[in-house]
Chain A
């Protein structure tokens, strides 16, 4: 009779053949430099230990001091921290523009701001929230956390990652500077033609919108490629596909969605710019073009984008629910498959944004059905999380409170979404505040509440200090009440017929009271963010020290110091369980033998996670920053003359060559 397998057996380190490939680097019969033995002079981590190892690795992987060092850094944690901070600053800017709009709409016939500024404000609000906050925030967390969670030392293509951050930063600065100069875009965040075309939007306003897309999408795609490669090729040995943390799965599916969706909006905005600048006729019906084509391209990106905003949030929710339930995720496989299903289905829904454009009835029915279909995998995820909490021993702390807020708000938004999937109802409330209410329930519920949870949860890892729990509870209460007071009344104002994107309304319409409630709610909601900011600043200075694993969580980022050392881990961990730190309480199984003097990482096989190579990771370099500046000159210049594509490519080429040319100091040049 065979002995039953115990959990202890599952956590045991498997035999060596299941952890390494043992293959040569060169092709059969080829004398390859890849297989030459390591230099005996080079210090390796099986020769030193303890604080000396930590200090030496920190020197090898560290960022140099000074401004040049700061701009040359390729440390995913430094770049990730900047990414997160920048995205949250844009969240605040987007929020401020909303507060100004709510002040204007608080009373009928208010004259605080005029229609022109109002048009710019709602465009900047939507553009900032979707392109400068919503998409980047998920990737920003991935940049910081994915390498830690998969147990490696840096992201794949760290220079590309640094370049992506600067391009994103410059794109965001460009559009906000334009807004400050009163040339901000005023055509709505989706910039429909013909309004945004050359005939109805002369001047440069719409061009700033279109070129901001180029910046952010170049950045978004490059980060997505880095994340996919990190998950595929830099996981710790033993991290098989079914041991990848759910957060990492979510970011992986998200990165794929980005790669397939973002080219559509780049195509849309690039062709819009061509129509405006060089006289093409893609969207000009008089010369064989078509205005609806723009909507198709935009929403082929735009609907997956909603899920690009939501998918990372599901990763945050999974990580937090598991840690605070004190048990492994219920339905891990179902959760992963739901993520993948959502990723696929999100590409089949775009036309439901275009129900009122006069589509064939069969098309409308198809997209109604697919819009309802996507509720199924999303529902499965919600049920798995609830089951995890139900069967666990939940510890109610601030991160979990925000997750509860997410459940309530996101499900409410999902329900109004199912209503909107029906064509007759959608036709009735299209372009009213009902739609505004729906997507704020989905987006704030589905992204911002989980984000707050994620910040409270990982703040100790980022800074080494805990955030205030007391302020956190106040923050949650204020945010939950403020949010619902702001957006719930919008359902009713929408059903009463109030259209979106109007800068004022008449008192006889009877929308005054509801709008006043909404505006007061917005003030409360904004106050919650001020409290949040205060909590961040105060806790970063004076919060209690966290230690490596304050929540007693199970994933690998908590095996690093708080904040992590430049090398993340002194030795690469070997993974035997989905929650490695719960399986290994007394000691961590690790790989030894990597270089201490050069930046070496383990490259595994994709599915089984067998260690295959020890490859070097790029050194810091100023060139990605220079290349981002060159790209900015090219992009901004091409808004004014197409010849910028020609002369602007020269500095870009020079910086790219500088980037790729090997430095004499790297290991393989010695």
Chain B
């Protein structure tokens, strides 16, 4: 061992080999720590979706007949929801791009549009719940259907809340600089909400018709 370093309480002297003075103060996408945080939560929540879907098919497997004693849920509102959700890819992509171009006027417009789309989707979702033809406390099929739809609604709600707060923020004096990176990450999370839906739509609305 070297001489006992305890004899001195002094830290090692520094030798500067780099200067960070002119490095950028934020960036977009995977260069930014926030993006990784968003991915991390999306993975954990995606795991939650996967497990709930696993529960669904486990119950299909142990029961054999499906959807137990209920008629399959209606297609009208759910298909409309799917359509609006898929269409929202376009304004969402614009929100992401204009945010990355740090275009304040367009970003404000895009965030308002995305908030309105979120509210519209929420309204459709209420009707969707009304045409499931099963209650959560009727049988295990009803329970798991409400679980899956509820889980997706929860994500819809949180992203909508996030989008509205960000929209308001961009109309204040805080709407510049790093906030544009937040706009980009918010759009990224919306893609997660979109991506989780088509499998659920097929499982909830089409699978019981095919089984």
Q: Show the binding face of A for B, using Cβ within 8 Å.
A: 13, 16, 19-20, 23-27, 30-38, 44, 46, 49, 156-157, 160, 221, 224-226, 228-229, 232-234, 237, 259-260, 262-264, 266-267, 271, 274-275, 278-282, 284, 287-290, 293, 296-297, 300, 326, 395, 544-550, 552, 559-561, 570-572, 574, 581, 584-594, 600, 602-603, 605-606, 611-616, 653, 657, 660-662, 668-669
Contact = CB atoms under 8 A, between A and B. Distances in A.
B211 to A, nearest CB: 14
Nearest to B61: A290
B183 to A, nearest CB: 13
B100 to A, nearest CB: 5
A587 B40 contact: no
A44 B12 CA distance: 20
B40 A229 contact: yes
Contact of B16 (A24, A46, A616, A660): A46
Contacts of A33: 25, 102, 176-178
Contact of A547 (B6, B24, B68): B6
B146 interface: yes
Given A225-B41, A281-B140, A13 B47 contact: no
Nearest to A287: B139
B186 to A, nearest CB: 11
B49 to A, nearest CB: 9
A376 B144 CA distance: 39
Nearest to A545: B9
B127 interface: no
B14 A587 contact: yes
B136 A280 contact: yes
A27 B52 CA distance: 39
A290 B33 contact: no
Nearest to A271: B147
Nearest to A601: B33
Given A296-B58, A669-B174, A550 B6 contact: yes
A37 B21 CA distance: 8
B102 A293 contact: no
B63 interface: yes
B161 A653 contact: yes
Interface string B37-54: 100110111011001100
24 contacts: A23-B24, A24-B24, A34-B177, A38-B22, A259-B44, A260-B44, A263-B47, A263-B48, A267-B51, A267-B52, A267-B55, A279-B136, A280-B136, A281-B138, A281-B140, A282-B144, A395-B1, A560-B11, A561-B9, A593-B22, A612-B27, A613-B25, A613-B27, A660-B165
B44 to A, nearest CB: 5
Given A293-B59, A550-B5, A281 B19 contact: no
A23 B22 CA distance: 10
A591 B44 contact: no
A547 B9 contact: yes
Contacts, number: 269
Contacts of B1: 326, 395, 552
Nearest to B101: A30
A160 to B, nearest CB: 8
Q: Tell which of B7, B13, B63 has the most Cβ of chain A within 10 Å.
A: B13
B18 interface: yes
Contacts of A49: 14
Given A263-B48, A288-B141, A612 B102 contact: no
A25 B29 CA distance: 11
A44 B23 CA distance: 13
A650 B7 CA distance: 57
Given A228-B36, A262-B44, A44 B21 contact: yes
Nearest to A559: B12
B137 A280 contact: yes
Q: Give the 10 A-B CB pairs with smallest separation, nearest first.
A: A25-B24, A225-B40, A593-B21, A288-B140, A279-B137, A280-B143, A592-B16, A593-B19, A289-B140, A593-B20
A300 B58 CA distance: 14
B20 A614 contact: yes
Contacts of B25: 25, 33-34, 36, 38, 613-616, 668
B24 A288 contact: no
Interface in B140-171: 140-144, 146-147, 161, 165, 169
B76 interface: no
A266 B177 CA distance: 37
Nearest to B137: A279
Contact of A156 (B5, B37, B51, B136): B37
